[in-house]
Amino acid sequence: MSRDEKKAESRRRILESAREVFFRDGFMKANLDEVAEKAGVAKGTLYRYFESKADLYVAVLTRNHEIFHDLIKAASEQGDNAVDRMRSIARFYFAHWLDHPDYFQIFWAVDNESVIGELPRAVIDQISSFWELNLNVTHGVLEDGVSSGELVPCDTWEVANVLWEVANSLIESDNTKARRQIRRRPLEPLYMHAIETVMRGILVEPTRIQLSPAQPMRETRAS
């Protein structure tokens, strides 16, 4: 193995170890000694690759985000109209959350600084840029829908934010047993119904396209 290959392998192991520790403990409680131990490197080696704990945290986010962004872009291209493309995005987002709940945990950290402690400004800025990049995918679908005459002229950036917040709020609600009990409905059909209700509100001809809840893909956690 060449020197460059060894460096790349060390960096990969550090990122994998950091991902596990950050996702489990959050930014503030994450212990870099444990990250180094899990990666099989000296703690000083961490700082050869990453200047600070915040720099390592951002690197973990970036690695996961690049994969996520490619997948959400691919989902946004599935369908013959804006409603079908939004359904595809919504289904992908929901399924991705089920498969990778820790991924969302690390992004929600920015909303829970009172619990985990204040995050560095650079970390918050990086998370915000990730959110905006993904929101632009949804925004682009809505813009295409308006341009084609399928959707009414509207503030598509505002609608994209509404859809994003609705999706995240419903997904996050499944983390609380009391909220699951109050809901009294399986999460996925409710989630899809909420997304489609927003979309119905901006359709030029709401009755032209039948909006129906998605077929359940899998079970979420039990009540």
Catalogue all structural domains in the chain, each as residue range(s) with its CATH number.
1-50 (1.10.10.60), 53-223 (1.10.357.10)
45-51 own/partner pairs: CB under 8 Å, 24+ apart: 45/10, 45/14, 46/14, 49/10, 49/11, 49/14, 50/14
- The residue type of 52 is S
- The residue type of 202 is I
What does the pLDDT read at residue 109? Answer: 56
- Output the CA angle 114-120-121, nearest 5 degrees: 105
Which tens digit of pLDDT belongs to each residue from 160-171?
Answer: 999 999 998 888
Q: Cβ atoms within 10 A of the Cβ of 211, count?
A: 16
What does the pLDDT read at residue 60? Answer: 81
Per-residue pLDDT 10s for the chain (223 aa) are 787 778 888 888 999 999 889 878 877 788 999 999 999 988 888 888 888 887 788 778 777 677 888 999 999 999 999 999 999 999 999 998 888 776 666 565 555 554 445 566 766 777 778 788 889 999 999 999 999 999 999 999 999 999 999 998 888 787 777 777 777 778 888 899 899 999 999 999 887 666 655 444 555 555 4
What does the pLDDT read at residue 116? Answer: 47
What does the pLDDT read at residue 56? Answer: 85
Q: Cβ atoms within 10 A of the Cβ of 183, count?
A: 15
* Structure token digits, residue 46: 């961490």
* Structure token digits, residue 3: 């020197």
Which tens digit of pLDDT belongs to each residue from 122-147?
Answer: 667 777 787 888 899 999 999 999 99
- Complete DSSP assignment for 138-153: HHHHHHHHHHHTSB-S
Q: Which distant-in-sequence residues (6+ apart) come within 8 Å of 39 by Cβ?
A: 10, 13, 14, 16, 17, 18, 46
